[in-house]
Amino acid sequence: MKKNYLLFQNLFLLAVLASFMVCCVSSKESLSISSDEEQAFKQVEGDTITISSDKTEYEIIIIEPGFNVWLNSVAKPKGYYSQSFLENRNYIMVLEWNNRVLQPSRFNPNLYELQIDYARHIDYGYEVNYKLYNYFIYFQRKYNQRLGPFVPRI
């Protein structure tokens, strides 16, 4: 009887281990990069995008080659996401971004140079949230980074 119990216990552990391995392998999604996106990533001339809101006097300046091309050719159009969706995702990604800025020995300081001042209780408007969210998606896909638990998809 004890042998059967040990055999069952070992089979159960093996099954749990196997299912864990399958989950880990299947959760790694590869990002498929379109030719338009590839072209945007290859840009060498610096795009300068200013993200601002007259309402809040909030401004972010992004100097990133290819971002403007990517935003206009690859990103989902304005209105695709709700403002609350963008705000929630931006908040999560800003927290991770700022965390990485504070750890230059662990994260590439050339990628994470400056902190982003983004407060959850301020309404920055749709335009600011839309461009900031899309910059995070662009950044994650171009530099193969993850700023949260979500796969950066288009």
* Contact criterion met (CB below 8 Å) for 98 and 144: no
Domain residue limits at 79: 35-143
pLDDT reading at 25 higher than 70: no
**Local confidence band at 154 (pLDDT 50, 70, 90 cut-offs):** confident
SS3 11: helix
Q: Are residues 80 and 104 in the same domain?
A: yes
Residue 150 domain flag? no
Residue 154 domain flag? no
Q: What percent of the chain has pLDDT over 90?
A: 54
Q: Are residues 71 and 14 in the same domain?
A: no
**Local confidence band at 9 (pLDDT 50, 70, 90 cut-offs):** low
Q: Are residues 20 and 83 in the same domain?
A: no
Q: Are residues 21 and 62 in the same domain?
A: no
CA 136 – CA 93 distance, rounded (Å):
7
Nearby residues of 49 by Cβ (< 8 Å), 6 or more positions away: 61, 62, 64, 67, 68, 71, 131, 135
Q: Which of 37-41, 132-136, 147-151 has the lowest mean pLDDT?
A: 37-41
pLDDT reading at 141 higher than 50: yes
Residue 153 domain flag? no
**Total structural domains within the chain:** 2
